[in-house]
Amino acid sequence: MRKNINSEKNLISIELGSQAKGFISFLSEDSSINNVIKDFRYGYFRASSFFKKKIPKVKLTLVYSREEMNNLIGYKTPSWYVGSADSSSKIFMLSPSVFDRESDHSKRDFRKVLCHEICHLFIRQIHNSYEPVWLEEGLAYYVAGQKSRLKNSNPIFNNPKALFLIDTRNRWNKTIGSQPDVPYALAFLLVDFLIRCYSKDRVIKLLMSLEGRYNKKRFCQKFRKVYGKDIKLILKEFFSRQNIKQKGGEKYVSRTQENI
Ligand SMILES: [Zn+2]
């Protein structure tokens, strides 16, 4: 019989400002716990100040092996998969003490990935759906200050319809299957572009305007209402900027949001 590893874990609570508390479930021999507490606070405050919201309770469960992660998530997770957030303010993350061993991330990535997962909880408070996936993932990536590893020479930048390859969960997963680096990087670059050229408030307004199930046509109509322009025109601007950058004609420095 499998041992229930959760029953062996400790639980601590930490203050996250006046109206919020964090909980961490961890193994007592985990020597990284003090850094995890710091990273948890950092990620929570960063996301909270970006979204101008609070979440009263956030629970982080530290996970100690790929097998334990697979059991918690319910399927075989790939080696880049280090954590996830669910709809009830719970986050599962590999402990930094096993990051190098159990994933292809460096443990230096822990802080940003944790902030990314916390962002998903805030985004879900505004828009209780996961689609379009590029908007959710791009925003979490942006707020966490994660950088794009996508080369501008990637053929995706010659495909103006690329965004609609990463909008539904199915299409996102399919694209990840064939081009693993593309979806997150493209999502981040586009959200970065929208925030820099059209403001953060407008992205949040767009998120707030989305209700119900994702539907491409309805999304494009809402986008037009918020941005006053057709999404095709904005995508054209975005892709031509990426292509200029590729040719070295313009300095285009991605903002990594070190000071939100
Ligand atoms: Zn994510």
pLDDT (tens digit per residue) in 148-190: 766 666 777 777 788 899 999 999 999 888 887 788 989 999 9
Domain containing residue 76: 5-126
| CA–centroid distance, residue 63 to ligand 1 (Å) | 17
Confidence at residue 64, expressed as pLDDT on a 0 to 100 scale: 97
Residues 12 and 120 in one domain: yes
Residues 82 and 193 in one domain: no
- 258 domain residue, yes or no: no
CA distance 223 to 216: 10
| CA–centroid distance, residue 123 to ligand 1 (Å) | 11
Residues 234 and 138 in one domain: yes
Taking only the tens place, the pLDDT of each residue in 86-110 is: 888 999 999 999 999 999 999 999 9
Residues 45 and 122 in one domain: yes
Tell me the CATH number at 21.
1.10.390.10
Residues 227 and 114 in one domain: no
Residues 117 and 204 in one domain: no
- 243 domain residue, yes or no: yes
**φ/ψ (deg, to 5) at 173:** -65, -40
As for how many domains the chain has, the answer is 2
80, 105 contact by CB (below 8 A)? yes
Question: If you compute the radius of gyration of the chain from its CA atoms, what whole number of angstroms results?
Answer: 19
Residues 235 and 137 in one domain: yes
> 126, 158, 188: which is the final residue of a domain?
126
CA distance 140 to 224: 23
- 140 domain residue, yes or no: yes
Residues 184 and 239 in one domain: yes
Single-letter amino acid, residue 207:
L
| CA–centroid distance, residue 89 to ligand 1 (Å) | 14
Taking only the tens place, the pLDDT of each residue in 61-94 is: 999 999 999 999 999 999 989 999 988 899 999 9
Residues 95 and 53 in one domain: yes
Residue 47 pLDDT > 90: yes
- 215 domain residue, yes or no: yes
> 61, 94, 126: which is the final residue of a domain?
126
| CA–centroid distance, residue 96 to ligand 1 (Å) | 18
CA distance 73 to 71: 6
- 210 domain residue, yes or no: yes
| Residues in the 5 Å CB sphere of ion ligand 1 | 137, 140
Confidence at residue 260, expressed as pLDDT on a 0 to 100 scale: 38
> 80, 102, 126: which is the final residue of a domain?
126
With the CA atoms of 24, 27, 31 and 36 taken in that order, what torsion angle do they form, in degrees rounded to the nearest 10?
-20
| CA–centroid distance, residue 256 to ligand 1 (Å) | 16
Query: By percentage, how much of the chain surpasses pLDDT 70?
Result: 88
| Average pLDDT over the chain, rounded to an integer | 88
| CA–centroid distance, residue 137 to ligand 1 (Å) | 5
Residue 55 pLDDT > 60: yes
| CA–centroid distance, residue 93 to ligand 1 (Å) | 12
Instruction: Report yes or no on whether pTM surpasses 0.85.
Output: yes
Confidence at residue 6, expressed as pLDDT on a 0 to 100 scale: 57
Taking only the tens place, the pLDDT of each residue in 185-224 is: 899 999 999 999 999 999 999 999 998 889 999 999 999 9
Residues 237 and 152 in one domain: yes
CA distance 102 to 95: 10
| CA–centroid distance, residue 94 to ligand 1 (Å) | 15
- 49 domain residue, yes or no: yes
Residues 121 and 10 in one domain: yes
- 256 domain residue, yes or no: no
| CA–centroid distance, residue 119 to ligand 1 (Å) | 8
| CA–centroid distance, residue 135 to ligand 1 (Å) | 10
- 257 domain residue, yes or no: no
Confidence at residue 7, expressed as pLDDT on a 0 to 100 scale: 60
CA distance 56 to 19: 6
Residues 148 and 65 in one domain: no
Taking only the tens place, the pLDDT of each residue in 231-260 is: 999 999 998 887 666 554 443 344 443 333
The full length of the chain comes to 260
| CA–centroid distance, residue 117 to ligand 1 (Å) | 6
